[in-house]
Every structure is written in structure tokens, then in C-alpha cells.
Amino acid sequence: MSDAAEDLVCRLEKLQSRFTWDLKEEDLELDDLSNQLQHDRDLKLGQRGAVAHYYRFLAYVRYLQGKPDEALSLLSQSEEKTRECYGEDCERRLIVTYGDMAWLIYHTGDSTQSQSYCQRVEDILEKNPADSPSDLLPEVYGEKAWTFLKFSMSYYKKAIACSLRALKLQPDDWEWNNCYAIALFRTEPNDLKRYPEESPVTTQLRRALEMTPNDGVLLSLLALKLLHYQKHEEADGLVKKALEVGSRDPQVIYHVAKYYYKRRKLDQAIDLLKGALERNSRSAFIHHQLAQCYRDKKKELFSKKPRPEEELQRFRRLSIYHLEETIKLRKGFNHAKADLALQYAEDSNRRRAQEMFNEVLETLEEESGIIYQFICRSYAEFCQYHITDWDLAITYYKKALKFNSSTSDGRWCVKKLKQIAERRLDRRPGDAIAYGILGAVAKAEGHLKEAVRYYERALERDASNTEYLSELCELRLNLD
């Protein structure tokens, strides 16, 4: 490599750009991301500047899809939209766009033009220096935050960190407050023990809504959070307003449908989602939400007597259809795959169910806590009810408790493990496995002294069991 070429690479590596932010292609669902971005761009959804964002994000996706010419065209259009939106204040918001252009043009082999865009970035930074050498401009932190938030759940923590850095520099900026609120919503678990009143995300959503009171996404997210705190009247009002201001936005429809789903208003949720699907048939999230609604409609029918088998089968088939559409659009959506595997098992297709579970379990340890727990719970149910492998069912119910025993999936697993332990003790008082199960449940629920007693009983009956011994030692250390 010549000295000039080395110098250009050095300049490029110093740029703030999606090409330097370690966005791994394997973390991105390119087809689904492309569909979402195109749809949002075409409908001009979002607040001020959002359309320019969509062009920039879509340009990087096109580059990864091997379409550099289209990517360049999209970046040029993003620049135009940014200038239209921000006028004379646009330069600081073009730093990342020009960085992307420099990298993209470099990859097409035009070193001279690439250097030109490097120079544009350097000129802007010279005119607009950051407050300190360790800081970037808030517009750059904001661009990073939105990129991480839009591209993959793998980067949500990075999105929080970047939006906080932007807020540190501009605490009253509506855009960074919105980004931070959404990032918090996607990562904060519902934990009434930790936050018995309101959590940090509800506080941040309220702050963001003070600045953008007609943001349908924020309104629907706050409604979902308030539902957790049983504040139904306020939440209902927020949902009503969200639909008034965001009836065309699929994100608003998705979140409102989720709200109806949690309130057990399944027919209202289904009507909303079917309407949204008519406008955007390639939304994996809408297909998945519809599948969950049909699955729960099916569950409601189980208690009816006589049981309406034809209706049950209809809802099961609808759920399967929408889950299959979901994973066609998002191949790495393992939550949906685990759900689909269980539906296959209920539809008497155990072989196909096992194949899908095998595929999902291969990457289980890479999943985030909530999805990890859902997959473990689903596979445990499959083992218990469809292939009658009780040992494997117990293993995966216990695995699910590693995340959190207070979630809905966690509570379900606790219930199932207690039932299994009680049945074993009814048949064989003093059963070591039953005491081991009860020890795991007590530990997951935070009852450490009770867990010690159960594991001691288990070891009295199975003294060589290394799992019980290891758990007991750990518990005693924690208690000490």
C-alpha cells in the first residue's frame, strides 16, 4: 500500500461513521430492516429529521446487501433532506453522513472523492469543536444512539450509553430525550419489587412527552408501562391519544395492539393488527403479534364445554401461519421459532417441532434474558407435555429461572416445578429430586435459608450429587 493510500485509510478510521461503529452484519436482519426502513421512509413517519435518518440507515443496509450505487444515491438524498429540515444548522448533522460517504466511495475505488469527503468532515469539526478532546458533538452521539437502537437489540445498551452522552451535553434536547426513553423502554424489565411506584423509564417517558406531547410512539410506550402499575384510566387515555395522532404509524399500532393484548382485549388487538398488515404485509413484528393473539384466542376456547374443536383448529392454524410469516421475514427471531415449535407440537407434528427447537437451542446461550427464559419455558413444556421427558422438562424449567422468577414466564416455571415436586413427593416421600427442585425454586425466589434446607434434605438422600453440593456451598457462602 502506498503512503497516500495508508494516509487515506488512517483518515477514514478516525471518522465517526457506521463503517467504524463495529456494526456486525451477523447481528442484523437485513431484509426485515430494509422493509421497515423503506416503509417508514415512504410514509414519512416520525418527528423532525426522521426521514433523513431513514435514508442514511437504508444506505448502510444497501451497502451490506452489495448495492453501493443505490447506497450512494440514498446518502445524497439524506443530505438533501437534512439541509431541507435544518437549514443553516445542518452541518453538524452531516458529519456522520459525510463519513459514510467517504467510506462508501473509498470502497468503490475513488480515493480522490473519498479524500474530499474526509476533508468536509474535518472542516466541520474545525468550525464546531467539541467541548473537550474526549467528547464528540451531541449530534454525533445522537446519530450513533438512533443507529444502535434501530439496527438490532444487540446494540440497545450502546444506544443508552450514546443517548446519555448526548444528554449530558444537551440535557433539554427533545430528540436525545426521546431516544433515551425508547432505549430504556426496550431494556428495562418490569420489576415491581425494585420499582413499586414508577420506574426510571416512566419518568423518562414523561419527560420526553413534555417536549413532544403528540408523539404516538412515546404515548403508547408510557401506556404499556402504566399498565404494569395498574394505572388503567391514565393508560387508556394515552392509548386513545396515541391512535389519534399516530394511526398511520405501524410502531404505534404495534404497541397499542400489545396494550390491548395485555388487557385481554384480543378482538380489538386483532382488528388493529389486521388493518396494519393490509398497509404493510412485510412487518415481522405485526405478524408475530397477530400470531400471539390467535394463540391466546385458542387458549380461551379450551375451557368451553363442549370444546369447539373446529374453532380451536382455526385459531391454531392462523397462529402457525403468522409465525411462519414472521420467521420468513426475520430468520433469527428465535422467540417466534420457539412459539412456532410448540404450535407444531400441538398440531401433532412433534418431529417438526423437535427440529425447530434443536435449531433454537443451538444459540440459546447467546440470547438476552427474557428471550432465553421464554425459549427454556417453551422447550420445557414441549418435553413435559409432548414427548414426556420429565428430566429434560425439569432441567429447562430450572434454566428458565436463572433469569428472573418474577416475570410471567418465571412465575409459570415456578408453578410447574412446584407441581412436579409435589407429585414426586406424593408418590415417594423423601424424593431427592423433588427436594432439589424445591431448592432451586426457593433460591430463584430469594428465599436462601429455605433453599439451604431443601438442598440439605436432597443431599441426605443423594449424598454424591455434585449439583446439590455445589448449590448448597454457594448458598452458605452467600448467607455468610
| Across 38-42, 202-206, 365-369, least confident range | 38-42
User: How high is the pLDDT of residue 177?
Assistant: 96
Given the candidates 3.40.50, 2.40.50, 1.10.10, 1.25.40, the CATH classification of the domain at 197-263 is: 1.25.40
For residue 157, the one-letter residue type is K
Most confident of 150-154, 417-421, 444-448: 417-421
For residue 145, the one-letter residue type is A
3-class state of residue 46 by DSSP: coil
3-class state of residue 20 by DSSP: coil
- When pLDDT is averaged across residues 47-52 and rounded to a whole number, the result is 81
- When pLDDT is averaged across residues 252-270 and rounded to a whole number, the result is 94
CA 433 – CA 455 distance, rounded (Å): 10
- Determine the length of the chain: 480
pLDDT grade for 97, boundaries at 50, 70 and 90: very high
- When pLDDT is averaged across residues 293-303 and rounded to a whole number, the result is 90
- When pLDDT is averaged across residues 366-386 and rounded to a whole number, the result is 92
Per-residue pLDDT for 259 more than 80? yes
pLDDT tens-digit readout, 178-227: 999 999 999 887 766 677 778 899 999 999 999 999 999 999 999 999 99
Per-residue pLDDT for 443 more than 80? yes
Per-residue pLDDT for 24 more than 90? no
pLDDT tens-digit readout, 99-112: 999 999 999 999 99
CB 78 within 8 A of CB 51: no
pLDDT grade for 304, boundaries at 50, 70 and 90: confident
- When pLDDT is averaged across residues 415-425 and rounded to a whole number, the result is 96
Percent with pLDDT over 90 in the chain:
72
CB 465 within 8 A of CB 431: no
User: How high is the pLDDT of residue 198?
Assistant: 85
The C-alpha cell 408453578 sits at 415
Own/partner contacts of 252-257, CB < 8 Å, gap of 24 or more, are: 252/216, 252/217, 252/219, 252/220, 253/286, 254/283, 254/285, 254/286, 254/289, 255/217, 255/220, 255/221, 255/223, 255/224, 256/220, 256/223, 257/286, 257/289, 257/293
- When pLDDT is averaged across residues 134-148 and rounded to a whole number, the result is 94
Question: First CA to last CA across the chain, in angstroms?
Answer: 62
The helix (run of H) or strand (run of E) holding residue 286 is: helix 284-302
pLDDT grade for 47, boundaries at 50, 70 and 90: confident
The C-alpha cell 461503529 sits at 21
* Residue 51 CB-density burial (10 A; 0-12 exposed, 13-18 middle, 19+ buried): buried
For the chain, give the mean pLDDT: 91
Crossing angle between the packed helical segments 334-346 and 350-361, to the nearest 10 degrees: 160
Q: Considering only CA atoms, which of 184, 215, 210 is closest in space to residue 199?
A: 184
User: How high is the pLDDT of residue 191?
Assistant: 67
CB 278 within 8 A of CB 266: no
CA 163 – CA 140 distance, rounded (Å): 10
- 3-state SS of 388-429? CCHHHHHHHHHHHCCCCCCCHHHHHHHHHHHHHHHHHHHHCC
CA 78 – CA 61 distance, rounded (Å): 14
What's the CATH number for 3-129?
1.25.40.10
Per-residue pLDDT for 282 more than 90? no
The string of DSSP letters for 454-469 reads: HHHHHHHH-TT-HHHH
What is the dihedral angle through the alpha carbons of 257, 262, 267, 270, rounded to the nearest 10 degrees? 30
Per-residue pLDDT for 285 more than 90? no
Distances in whole angstroms, Cα of residue 156 to Cα of each of 186, 202, 283, 421? 8, 18, 20, 38
Q: Where in the chain is the domain with CATH 1.25.40.10?
A: 3-129
CA 263 – CA 257 distance, rounded (Å): 10
* Phi, psi torsion values for 303, nearest 5 degrees: -85, -10
User: How high is the pLDDT of residue 4?
Assistant: 77
| Across 5-9, 72-76, 441-445, least confident range | 5-9
CB 146 within 8 A of CB 53: yes
pLDDT tens-digit readout, 324-348: 999 998 888 999 999 999 999 999 9
CB 181 within 8 A of CB 206: no
- When pLDDT is averaged across residues 93-121 and rounded to a whole number, the result is 95
The helix (run of H) or strand (run of E) holding residue 281 is: none
User: How high is the pLDDT of residue 270?
Assistant: 96
Instruction: Assess whether the previous peptide bond of 308 is cis (omega < 30° from 0).
Output: no
Per-residue pLDDT for 3 more than 80? no
